[in-house]
Amino acid sequence: MNVAILGSGFGLYGYLPALLAQRCRVLLPERYRAIVESRAELSGLASEIGWVPDEREAIDLSDALIVARRPADQAGMLAEILHKPRLKRLLLEKPLAPNPATAAKLQDQIEASGKILRMGYTFDFTNWGQDLIARVGASKGDIRIRWTFRAHHYAADLPTWKRFEPQGGGALRFYGIQLIGLLAKLGFDTVLASGVKSTHSGEVESWRAQLQNNEGARCDLEVDSNSERTGFSVDAPSSAISLPDPFAEQPTGTQDRRVPVLSSLCREWLTSQQTPHLWYTRTIALWRAIEDATVRSNSAKP
């Protein structure tokens, strides 16, 4: 099976080593070669890659495709991709689009295409995520999730898209969507409260919410992407974890710590014969409900 990657950032340092651990041939556009060879953790992989002249040929020759681009770019290229008959499988990074309304339309188009889809939701492939799914699925107890850190774009004062809400960035749309996906799988579909804070126009630095699932259990959650404190904690029925970050359980080494969970995601995507459309639809519905209920607090600068 030929699998192509579009995206020279996380697509390379995250998905490339994850894919090479599977039984597939990885195709990359020639212009990515310099990036691969310049990164110490990737340079040894260059000889294992099938290099093609450009992205168009990568798409045309692939049976499966990973798109790890900005949400707006990802949304803009889907129409062409969905009409490629050879292409049977898609793995798209989250969020699917910059906002839930556009994401819902794209989700419908992907479902109609019949292609096997996976979104880049990785929390349910972590040990703590699997434990949470097992415990909450068997209990009506409440849970609390807290995730605080200083995102690289704040630490380095970089104006990247991940910082700006209209582009699909921020504590809610970019970071929080991972938790929204996980909580939608657990049946959380009612928004009791939601609020975001920022100090600059167009940004969302922190998000807090209280959700309820169909069993009456509640989840209080907080995501702060511009915090002096770093930590990730989950308090659930008969279980509590406290980690430096959501992927801290993974072994350290030369590769990005998310590679093992991405490998699990890729393996499941490449072998499955169906798409969990109901889960993805519920995720977007919950995302939309959260956005509709969100109260904004800021000292925004014009």
CATH number, residue 131: 3.30.360.10
Same domain? For 216 and 294 the reply is: yes
Domain identity same for 73 and 206: no
pLDDT at 137: 66
Confidence check: pLDDT of 210 > 90: yes
- Count CA atoms within 13 Å of residue 219 on its CB side: 27
Does residue 202 share a domain with residue 102? no
- The burial class, CB within 10 Å (0-12 / 13-18 / 19+), for 41 is middle
- The pLDDT assigned to 254 comes to 80
Q: What is the pLDDT of residues 179-200, one digit of tens each?
A: 999 999 999 999 999 999 999 9
Q: For residues 184, 120, 256 and 125, what is the CA-based torsion angle, rounded to 10 degrees? A: 50
Q: What are the pLDDT digits (tens) for 94-116?
A: 999 999 999 999 999 999 999 99
The pLDDT of residue 301? 43
Do 131 and 107 fall within a single domain?
no
pLDDT at res. 299: 61
- Which CATH number does the domain housing residue 45 bear? 3.40.50.720
Task: Supply the Cα-derived Rg of the chain in whole angstroms.
Answer: 19
What pLDDT does residue 252 have?
A: 67
For position 249, what pLDDT does the model report?
Answer: 87
What pLDDT is stored for residue 194 in this prediction? Answer: 98
Q: Is the domain of 169 the same as that of 284?
A: yes
- Name the more confident of 63 and 138: 63
Specify whether 153 is located in the same domain as 104: no
Domain identity same for 176 and 60: no
Question: Looking at residue 31, what DSSP letter applies?
Answer: G
Number of separate domains in the chain? 2
Burial track 107-139 (b if 16+ CB lie within 10 A, e otherwise)? beebeebebbbbbbbbbbbbebbeebeebbeee
151 and 197 in a single domain? The answer is yes
Joined tokens for residue 224: 């702060």
Given a cut of 70, is residue 302 above it in pLDDT?
A: no
**Predicted pLDDT of residue 138:** 61
Residue 180 has which token pair?
Answer: 């929204």
Inform me whether the pLDDT recorded for 25 exceeds 60.
yes
**Enclosing domain of residue 72:** 2-119
- Of 119, 151, 173, the residue that ends a domain is 119
For residues 95 and 9, membership in a common domain is answered with: yes
- Tens of pLDDT along 240-270? 999 999 999 877 678 899 999 999 999 999 9
Specify whether 112 is located in the same domain as 179.
no
**Final residue of a domain: which of 78, 94, 119?**
119
Does 33 share its domain with 106?
Answer: yes
Residue 125 has pLDDT above 90, yes or no: yes
- Choose the final residue of a domain: 84, 119, 154: 119
Residues 211 and 276 in one domain: yes
Residue 59 has what pLDDT? 97
Which pLDDT belongs to residue 139?
Answer: 66
pLDDT at 300 over 60: no
Query: Average pLDDT over the chain, rounded to whole?
Result: 94
Whole-prediction pTM: 0.94
pLDDT in tens, 127-168: 999 999 888 766 678 999 999 999 999 999 999 999 999 999
